[in-house]
Chain A
Amino acid sequence: MGTAMRLLARHQTPLLLILLLGLIAVLGLLGGDSVQVTLTEMFIRVVVVVGLFVFIGNSGIISFGQVGFMCIGAYAAAWATAEPSFKQIMLQGLPVVLQENQLPFWVAILGAVLLPALVAFGLGLAIMRLSGTAASIATFAFLIIVNSVYANWDSVTAGVSSIVGIPTVVGPWTAYGFSGLAILAAYGFQVSRVGLMLRASRDDEVAARACAVKVVRMRLIAFVLSAAITGMGGGLYAQFLGILTVDPFYLSLSFITIAMLVVGGQASLTGAVTGVVAVTAVVEVLRLLERGITLGGTALALPAGSQEIGLGLVMALILIFRPNGLSRGRELVLPSRRFGFAAPARISPRPKAAS
């Protein structure tokens, strides 16, 4: 068995996760158009939730604001690729270069990564020195600010009306590719020195307090990376829908993405990915039930809103009965000993028992 094999075994988690998602994508090929749409959306959410995980999972601080970065990323992408004719009429506040040109997809994604990262850097400088709870509230305030600014800054965001004419280039396979990229980036971070130290600080508050300056810096790095990945998710979302408004990037989406992370288990990358898959499945089933099914001649349908309430209940139940989520805070590894003595990189200390 060569070094390559051992390396592969050591870092099997992200590969297994990508494989798992690939399997789902292949199965999805059998479904119709609506399945394709659901799948694409799911993969984009994998990107977003993995982005969320990079900050929340590694630092232990809840951020309600990452959806704000998604919004910033989505608009950045739209600015790059929306129809010039539309931009010249509706978005006259944009720089002329953007107004007059329709830039390629990769530029859009680049913008969707860089702009949120930049904003996160500035915001992070201001709030990462706060205590965990205060920082969480500040991220919540940030979400409201983003929403308020993007809903009112008519000359660059078209205000409450929508931006149209964004090329819909993102399908299930593109989204899948990017979700793989996000998983690799997140994994790379959590096994990096900064990631390991940050996780150690999450689990040991005494140590965290002892080197406060370092912790603030490490949190900032995680926050920026998280914003970049989440922003990328936003960019993909814009290029998937083709039409963009501010509304979706608000409390509901913030709740759903956090619910995904919590259901899967916020302490592990595996949790982030499985959470998206599991919650998507639950939501789809509830949506189906809301539309109604016929059982032996009688039509049964849940009232509208059951989907949301159901998701809320699922999350509350998970918190109460399985606080470390479906993954129990562990990473996915193959059970067999085929890979020999190379143990997978141990990145997560066992979840602590409540004491």
Chain B
Amino acid sequence: MAPLLSVENIQVRYGDLVALRGVSLSVAEGEVVCIIGPNGAGKSTTMAAIAGGVVPHAGDIRLNGASIRGERPERIARLGVSLVPEGRHVFGTLTVDENLAVGGQLRGDRAAARADRERILSLLPRLGERLNSPAGRLSGGEQQMLAVARAVMTRPRLLLVDEPSLGLAPKIIDQIYEILLDLRRQASLTLLINEQSSTRILKHADRISVLRGGRIQLEGRAADLKDGEAIRQAYFGFGERAAQPAEASA
């Protein structure tokens, strides 16, 4: 059976700047996969490409075996891929409830959407208390929770979460992960998560890919990478891999 998501050797360029030089990865139904890599490695670009925000110049992206490369973002969302972008991007002038409604709008079944809303709010009581305040007034952690909740409201099969811990206190990050994993159990979600550091993610992820310089440097099961040395090497480019000179951009 085809994996839920397979990214096949995609390349992305922004003008003269090459962001991805051939990235491949696959995510099977029910898995938690994490991409880790330093700033500028191409993690966000990878996610944007999957969600339809940028179109790869080469390579293919398949969802359940069918190509979604070049589809519009709203179409990909309707196929069951939802993105929680870096920097959260909640609609600041809309209320919390309205933010959730935007997430829920693509569902045909209104009753099911309402039920989901209740379920999500029971997991996130802090959002429930602030349903009618503008999302822009929430704290950073609350906004991150709202961004996750809003994405889950589209009832995705695959949830893309781009750097959920960026700029948040460790305690809040733990909460966010708890919620993500709770949601994953309850909504049978598949997760692809970007992170800059592997410390937290190693215990939650099934598999890990290390991305640096627009290429996957290392890929493996989280259980096999527990000691972290291989990850460190791939992440910082020590050892033999560093001997390969970085290609100059065109």
Direct contact of A and B (CB under 8 A): yes
User: Interface residues, chain A, CB within 8 Å of chain B?
Assistant: 350, 352-353, 355
Residues on B with C-beta less than 8 A from A350 are 15-16
The A interface is mostly helix, strand or loop, or mixed, namely loop
CB-contacts of B1-42 with A (<8 A): 13-16
Whether A355 contacts B54 by the Cβ 8 Å rule is yes
The B interface is mostly helix, strand or loop, or mixed, namely loop
Top-9 shortest CB links A-B: A352-B15, A353-B15, A355-B14, A355-B15, A350-B16, A355-B54, A350-B15, A353-B14, A353-B13
Residues on A with C-beta less than 8 A from B14 are 353, 355
Binary CB contact string for chain B from 41 to 55 against chain A (1 if under 8 A, 0 otherwise): 000000000000010
CB distance from B205 to the nearest CB of A (A): 31
User: Interface residues, chain B, CB within 8 Å of chain A?
Assistant: 13-16, 54
Residues on A with C-beta less than 8 A from B13 are 353
CB distance from B58 to the nearest CB of A (A): 15
Residues on B with C-beta less than 8 A from A353 are 13-15
**Can you add 6 more A-B contacts, CB < 8 Å, to A350-B15, A350-B16, A355-B15?**
A352-B15, A353-B13, A353-B14, A353-B15, A355-B14, A355-B54
Chain A residue at minimum C-beta to C-beta distance from B54:
A355
Residues on A with C-beta less than 8 A from B54 are 355
CA distance A29 to B213 in the complex (A): 61
CA distance A355 to B15 in the complex (A): 8
CB distance from A346 to the nearest CB of B (A): 14
Chain B residue at minimum C-beta to C-beta distance from A353:
B15
Chain B residue at minimum C-beta to C-beta distance from A351:
B15
Residues on B with C-beta less than 8 A from A355 are 14-15, 54
CB distance from A234 to the nearest CB of B (A): 39
Chain B residue at minimum C-beta to C-beta distance from A354:
B15
Residues on A with C-beta less than 8 A from B16 are 350
CA distance A355 to B14 in the complex (A): 7
CB distance from B192 to the nearest CB of A (A): 23
Chain A residue at minimum C-beta to C-beta distance from B13:
A353
- 9 contacting pairs across A/B (C-beta < 8 A): A350-B15, A350-B16, A352-B15, A353-B13, A353-B14, A353-B15, A355-B14, A355-B15, A355-B54
Chain B residue at minimum C-beta to C-beta distance from A355:
B14
CA distance A218 to B16 in the complex (A): 27
CB distance from B68 to the nearest CB of A (A): 20
